[in-house]
Structure 1
Amino acid sequence: MLRVAVIGAGRIGRVHSEAIASHPQATLVLVCDPIGTAAEDLAASYGARSCKDASEVFADPEVDAVVIGSPSTFHAEHLLAAARAGKAVLCEKPVAISVEEGRKLEADLAQFDHPRS
């Protein structure tokens, strides 16, 4: 069973949470969003836990994979943190907010061993 966290409890976070919760080989274990009770409310609807700080997602040993649906300005930071933590990751587009940031992210991610399909 793949244990998944979602960062971002807005529209796209809700879409991903529903997809994860409905997959027979995945479990939504954690929803993260710093604004109000968005994470708590979304997590509660699927029996998951919630948090407001993304660093908790990356440090959580019960999380195997992370779906990044945070605001675009955080995508590169969250992608790199997930990789550092050894988590599988899916990121909404764009992965970076500029070509330069994208190139730096690509170089930073190159240090990690990524399985190829």
Structure 2
Amino acid sequence: MKKGITTSFNIIATLALFIAFTVQYASVRELNIGEGSNTIVDVLFESSEIKVLFYLFVFIIVAATLSAVFKEIWNRLLSDILTLREITFNEAYSLCFLLMAVTLY
């Protein structure tokens, strides 16, 4: 099995991240519809509980997309360059959250 990072992998990873971040950005961007400023989630959903569930769903989708891309980059590039073992999706998910926590705090 060829593990190299190909152009098609880069295109698919870029599209997946673009879609995930676009959905995330569109859900929190303020709109000037009618009175006051609302986000698209405010326009679509009235209930606070549904808004929280929607944000949780978007967060999980973005996290899963980033973890899948991180896993593929690790397994196709870093494992060969640094002679490291390949990782699973669960390990990639944990590493993404660990790196996020370290960089944000």
TM-score normalised by L of structure 2:
0.26
Q: Which has the higher contact order (CA 8 A, sep 6+)?
A: 2
Q: Which structure has the larger Rg?
A: 2
Say which structure is richer in helix. Answer: 2
TM-score normalised by L of structure 1:
0.24
